Structure 1
Amino acid sequence: MAPKLPNLSALPGRTRAETQPNQQQSQDQIEGIPQPFESDFFTNTLLDESKSHEAGKEASSYQAQPARNFSSSARYGLLSGFDPSYYRDWLFEILSCVASFVVLIAIIVLLERYDQQPVPAWRQGITLNTLLALLATLCKAAFAYPVLQGISQLKWNWFTKRRPLIHFEAFDEASRGAVGSIRLLVATRGQISSVVVAAILISAIITSTITQAAVTTSTRYAPGDGTATVRPNADPSLFKIQASEGGIWNKTVPEFMESIWTPLNETYPRLAPTCTTGNCQFPPFSSLAVCVAMNDVTDQLNLTSLGLYPNSSFQMTKATLPNGLFLEMGYSEWGTLNISVPTNYESFTDAPNATLSFGNRPDLLRAGLVDVAVIYGNESWITDMHMYRAVEVLFHLCVESYEVQTVNGTASTTRTAVLTDVVTDMQPPDPLLTNSSNSDDGVIVLAGPKQDRQNYTAGLNLLLGISMPLVDLLPGTYRGAEILSVATPFSLALGWAVYHEGPFTSGNSTSYGGDEEMRQTILNIMQNIAIGVTNVLRSWGGSPQTGTPYQLETYVIIRWGYLAFLAAQVVLSALFLLWVMIQSRRLKTEVMKNSVLATLFAISSEDKALLEAEGEGEPSIIHQDGNSNNDMSTMAKRSTVKLIKGERGWRLGLVGRDDDDGDGDDNRVV
């Protein structure tokens, strides 16, 4: 057993040279211990016992000279004095940094490729998140490796100054992961290097999670496989349709009957498109259509008293329009109206003389189909002859523009524009209609919208096919007390809407709501009839308008902000490695990193013997059956070392320990 070292604090002023005999004796006693192989990094790790006094002088010399006592010419940066061997020592770390940037770029390219695109369907059930997680893991491994190696090298740079030996263990633990980096942060008291290390390693725990959060999905409608068509009408051959075949007639009557019973505040459905996917978009288009115009002609009524109704006390009144249409009813008669049309089509071709109120609208008259007059009482119970009202309704050809779409199986058609611009007037037809089936007589040409650049043509047979059913179905009379005996289908529908469903009725009472509301009710029903007839025109001929079928798809949304986390880690790790390389170059420390041999031979056999010999005087530091970890930690905390370069290389030299006896002396052993 080596003898106890003298208490240096009890020998003030004595130098290491004066205590050399005792140290020589200690060296003589361990001379028989086999000396380990010297590493390439530490060529003088184990001192030759025969030259221990020279080693003591060397250590004493380095105590007087700080580790950074370099000449100004020796202070050069990383790139000055290029030494290929130096960069070879960092080759794997540099390649690892490059790999992390390459993987990061690959992630960006991958996500850019699928951003706003449908979710990819790859083989084996591999998803975009799966591939992203793999790349994120590779990137984390790539940027973590140079950080861990940089910590190991930073350990040697740290000891170029006098440091507690316990810091050696803190650096070693930090090179193993995030938990150790926290201990290093505490041990170095928040040095910038330890802060950077802790930030990188701790944040690396959630790298994959945050990176995958960059990918999210949503749903949208995208063009898909299916059929999307809608019928406009732009077929010039329509005017050749023969009225005698009854094709348009047979289609018009059912549409008419359905349209007149549309609920009061609803619009009759327009021709529905074909959409096999349930979601379709169509470009705007135009079609030949039937429109309605209505004017109030109450001021043209001529009211005449007819005396009492036979065998009653009811006063009879006749309301007559200038064209001869009239309505007769009693003062107390409940809900009465009359709908009249010209007796034949030819009489209306003389439009300026036939109309009551559209003389100032030649465009409508030139495209006119049927003129209708409605005379009605403006209250359910007529008590005054001045309660009669009248309107004139004109059905005419027009060109309508539409926007059509189908959403979730529900089609909607919006009329965006109406144009009545007659290019060619209708010629007088053959009065006997003997040649109408094969003649172009009676052609009407209407111009479409400017953006359409197309004309829409209708001939006599088409006009007859539309107008004749209207002439037959529109006239009628409604009397509230004699509904079933005198009403036609249309007069019943109109009378019921006016006197039972209008805004002026409430329960069983009849409260007048105003002339405008009543006129609007009549106009709504007439417009629904026009829509039904337009549906017949659009379904009869013309090429279908093709739309785009849409299907619900799931697509990828990239939230690029989440990638900033990974990018910051990659950049920070590269900067940290560069910093360690520059610092090592400036301090001229050997690139040893986490070399096991370097650690094994870090402390010379002489300093080890000094530590062991000093511990003999304190209980529980060294035991014959092993070491006590707690006591070893205590010794490591109290002992300080410094990286010293001698003639034969680098070593960790024991330069002293913290003052533990309160005498102000640091108890140096050098």
Structure 2
Amino acid sequence: MRQRKTFFQEWIKTWWLVELSAMFVSCSLVVTLCLVLWHYDGKPVPSLSIGGFGHTNTITLAAIVSLLITLSVAASLAAVQASISQLKWQWYYSGHSGNDVTSTASRPLCDLDTLDSASRGFTGSVMLLFRMRFAPLGASFGAFLVILQLAIAPMTQQSVHQITRQVTVDNDVFNNSAVVTTRQEWTQQHNNAVVNGIPFGYQSLGSNLKGAIPYGLFANSTLGINNTAPMCSTGNCVFPDYQTLAVCSSSANVSSHVVRTDKSGEELSCILGQFCISNGDINAVANITTAASSKQTSRDSYKSGSSPVPFNFSSVAFAETNNAGTIGDFYILYQNFDADAQHGNVYAAVEFRLAWCVQTFTTHVVNTTVITNRHIDVNTNFTLRGAYISNTVNGTVFNVDKIAHYSLQRYLWLLLTGRAWFNADNSISVDSAEIDVLAGQFGVTHDPSLSTGTQSEFMARLARIMDNVAISMTNTIRSPGDTVATGSAYVPVSFIKVNWGLIIAPVAFTILCLVFLLGVVMSGRSRHGDLKPPVWRSGMMASLRGLDPQLHRTFGGMMAADAMDEAAQNVYVHLSRDGNVWWLQIDAAKSGKGLPMLSDAEHDGLECGPDSKEPVERRLSATASAV
């Protein structure tokens, strides 16, 4: 004997408890999804671990989103499919009151199969929209939801993506994570040694600084020299603008100041009347001379006990040359091959200068690539203050030991003063390799790529070389530095970014499914004597017991699927109620001609099957009694 059905079992069978529960679960999952995304939006990508079987596994946020939306869509889809199943019965029922009333909502029997297929998945839903042309609006809307659910999960997963941001590193964790050396004071140890003609009384220059000057001269002027590299432990750093003691260069075209003069019958081309080259000496094509007067340089005797003496410079282009910070000021008088010897100057001239300056830098490191920019505005206002040549910028004092400064002046003068000339065999001779580099920028060279060019091109070449020299010298005095500029080190961190516009998709889908289910529930309620079909959904028992005997005999038994489908197109049926029993009855008036029809008497005595002798109604009654 079967157990008596519980209250919940009754509601599951005769009402929408399962479907409403499914929609409650679906809505809860969507709310959970939104709360999870809201919690992690704008935060670092979480690392969620789950343990099991002795192992720890990591589950990603994307996996959680996928799980939540998949379960939500599945729950909503279950309610929608059950609703479509119920609507197929309402499709054959127009709505009327009373007993033994034949419905006028006669529909092709094949619609029953189409609607039932739509309740089972994507393919059936597409066929419903294609075959029935949106005729049952409610069921068509449900079929649309079944199709739409395929796009919900991908759209939801696309709403969550990762963006990379640079996050500042805690300096307490990484000491000196972003520093760059700077210099506020430069000096060299006094050795009282003669180096490269530097007399006693001058300090010896260190080999690193002596090597920095030719290194800048001989470097590739096209590529240039990098500035002092910072220490960046993470490979991504940003530094505020910082200042350091540096060497700056400048150059100018002073050809307009070349004056042709005659001294003791010799025609000369001179700058300031004292730095000259003979126009008659056609072999001399370049003469590089310092702007310091010979009187001053001759005072630096090479005898023991000589005192360091600063150079006094004379400049045409740079008014600040006469201040204490000038390291060297030079003129290059070179043969102007394009000049008209009768009317124009045979020689042209440029002036270049190296001086101490306070340089402002901007540095940042991106993926280990260092990018340093030097600001154009520099401060070269150095003055002699006791034992130092000093400059105060923004309250910070920058000092250069004057003895070291005087030694550097003389070393630079000895290194960069000289001549380049053509020999009788048209070859070129130079006083030094350094002179060869400088003269070569003005066409006095064996390098075909430098042998020609305009005056602007000559000047650009010289500017790049002197810039390299200045950077090389600056890097040397900053390595090591006596101070540091501290920046911020960053590490790339992945953050969660939620596209809330795409989250509308699962929210809207769930709401539509809920509205659809509630609409079907409300449409099935009996009102004002209008008895609606009970909740059958897609139950097989309703299909088997609901076939009117005449419909069964007319439609025939089971055949091939295509044959049954073709026959069902010509059979019209409607749903009617006879007491507590509902029948799916044939509409003889609308059904196709040639189909076998039974009289009422034949219908009353119709057998259920080929071997049955018992009328259908009596057999149904007996079956009910047995149950």
2:123 is matched with 179
Matched, 1:405 2:356: no
Gapped regions of structure 1 (runs ≥ 5):
1-38, 41-84, 309-315, 428-439
Give the whole-Å Cα distance in 2 for the aligned partners of 1:601 and 1:373. Answer: 113
Contact 1:370–1:467 (CA under 8 A) maintained in structure 2: yes
**2:384 pairs with one of 416, 426, 440:** 426
Paired residue secondary structure (1:657): coil
Q: Which one-letter code corresponds to 2:230 in the other structure?
A: P
Give the whole-Å Cα distance in 2 for the aligned partners of 1:661 and 1:403. Answer: 91
Give the whole-Å Cα distance in 2 for the aligned partners of 1:382 and 1:488. Answer: 30
Displacement of 1:141: 0.8
Give the direction of change, closer, same or farther, for the CA distance of 1:519–1:653 in structure 2 (3 Å limit).
closer
Give the whole-Å Cα distance in 1 for the aligned partners of 2:111 and 2:537. Answer: 15
**2:143 pairs with one of 173, 198, 213:** 198
Paired residue secondary structure (1:426): strand
1:493 is matched with 437
1:432 is matched with none
Give the whole-Å Cα distance in 1 for the aligned partners of 2:166 and 2:444. Answer: 45
Matches within 5 A, 1:647-662: 649=580, 651-652=582-583, 654=585, 656-660=587-591
1:58 is matched with none
1:446 is matched with 392
1:594 is matched with 537
Matched, 1:333 2:277: no
**1:388 pairs with one of 328, 347, 360:** 347
- Greater shift, 487-496 or 186-195, is seen at 186-195
Deviations 1:22-49 (A, max 9, x none): xxxxxxxxxxxxxxxxx99xxxxxxxxx
Deviations 1:248-278 (A, max 9, x none): 6432111101101133444333223334555
**1:130 pairs with one of 34, 52, 63:** 63
Normalized per residue, the structure richer in helix is: 1
Paired residue secondary structure (2:18): helix
Give the direction of change, closer, same or farther, for the CA distance of 1:141–1:367 in structure 2 (3 Å limit).
same
Give the direction of change, closer, same or farther, for the CA distance of 1:501–1:211 in structure 2 (3 Å limit).
farther
Q: Which one-letter code corresponds to 1:657 in the other structure?
A: A
1:357 is matched with 316
Displacement of 1:445: 1.8
**1:569 pairs with one of 469, 489, 509:** 509
2:198 is matched with none
Displacement of 1:138: 0.6
Contact 2:355–2:380 (CA under 8 A) maintained in structure 1: no
Give the whole-Å Cα distance in 1 for the aligned partners of 2:572 and 2:255. Answer: 117
Contact 2:253–2:350 (CA under 8 A) maintained in structure 1: yes
- Greater shift, 527-536 or 183-192, is seen at 183-192
Displacement of 1:150: 1.4
Displacement of 1:541: 1.9
1:584 is matched with 524
Contact 2:177–2:489 (CA under 8 A) maintained in structure 1: yes
Contact 2:422–2:429 (CA under 8 A) maintained in structure 1: no
Deviations 1:495-522 (A, max 9, x none): 22322569xx8579x65x4444333433
Give the whole-Å Cα distance in 1 for the aligned partners of 2:407 and 2:140. Answer: 90
Contact 2:239–2:363 (CA under 8 A) maintained in structure 1: yes
Give the whole-Å Cα distance in 2 for the aligned partners of 1:201 and 1:470. Answer: 86
- Greater shift, 143-152 or 473-482, is seen at 473-482
Give the whole-Å Cα distance in 1 for the aligned partners of 2:482 and 2:569. Answer: 97
2:97 is matched with none
Matches within 5 A, 1:435-514: 440-448=386-394, 454-461=396-403, 463-464=405-406, 466-481=408-423, 487-500=431-444, 513-514=453-454
1:23 is matched with none
1:274 is matched with 231
**1:233 pairs with one of 175, 178, 182:** 182
Give the whole-Å Cα distance in 2 for the aligned partners of 1:501 and 1:122. Answer: 69
1:15 is matched with none
Contact 2:125–2:143 (CA under 8 A) maintained in structure 1: yes
Contact 1:339–1:491 (CA under 8 A) maintained in structure 2: no
Contact 2:279–2:346 (CA under 8 A) maintained in structure 1: no
Matched, 1:89 2:39: no
Give the whole-Å Cα distance in 1 for the aligned partners of 2:367 and 2:355. Answer: 35
Give me the TM-score of the superposition, normalised by structure 2: 0.71
Displacement of 1:200: 1.5
- Greater shift, 478-487 or 571-580, is seen at 478-487
**1:371 pairs with one of 322, 329, 354:** 329
- Greater shift, 366-375 or 257-266, is seen at 366-375
Displacement of 1:108: 4.1
Give the whole-Å Cα distance in 2 for the aligned partners of 1:488 and 1:279. Answer: 44
Q: Which one-letter code corresponds to 2:24 in the other structure?
A: V
2:24 is matched with 98
Give the whole-Å Cα distance in 2 for the aligned partners of 1:168 and 1:517. Answer: 90
Give the whole-Å Cα distance in 2 for the aligned partners of 1:577 and 1:658. Answer: 35
Q: Which one-letter code corresponds to 2:117 in the other structure?
A: E
Displacement of 1:530: 1.7
Give the whole-Å Cα distance in 2 for the aligned partners of 1:528 and 1:214. Answer: 52
Contact 2:286–2:439 (CA under 8 A) maintained in structure 1: yes
Contact 2:285–2:444 (CA under 8 A) maintained in structure 1: no
Paired residue secondary structure (2:479): helix
Q: Which one-letter code corresponds to 1:147 in the other structure?
A: V
Paired residue secondary structure (2:80): helix
Paired residue secondary structure (2:574): strand
2:217 is matched with 260
Displacement of 1:291: 1.6
Give the direction of change, closer, same or farther, for the CA distance of 1:163–1:223 in structure 2 (3 Å limit).
farther
Give the whole-Å Cα distance in 1 for the aligned partners of 2:439 and 2:112. Answer: 103
1:142 is matched with 75
2:608 is matched with none
Contact 1:657–1:667 (CA under 8 A) maintained in structure 2: no
Contact 2:422–2:428 (CA under 8 A) maintained in structure 1: no
Aligned-pair Cα RMSD in Å: 4.8
Q: Which one-letter code corresponds to 1:395 in the other structure?
A: L
Contact 1:96–1:143 (CA under 8 A) maintained in structure 2: yes
Matched, 1:324 2:281: no
Q: Which one-letter code corresponds to 1:581 in the other structure?
A: V
Give the direction of change, closer, same or farther, for the CA distance of 1:317–1:144 in structure 2 (3 Å limit).
same
Paired residue secondary structure (1:194): helix
Q: Which one-letter code corresponds to 2:577 in the other structure?
A: I
Contact 2:389–2:399 (CA under 8 A) maintained in structure 1: yes
Contact 1:445–1:458 (CA under 8 A) maintained in structure 2: no
Displacement of 1:494: 0.8
Give the direction of change, closer, same or farther, for the CA distance of 1:113–1:243 in structure 2 (3 Å limit).
farther
Larger Rg: 1
1:437 is matched with none
Matches within 5 A, 1:526-545: 526-545=466-485
Q: Which one-letter code corresponds to 2:144 in the other structure?
A: A
Contact 1:185–1:194 (CA under 8 A) maintained in structure 2: no
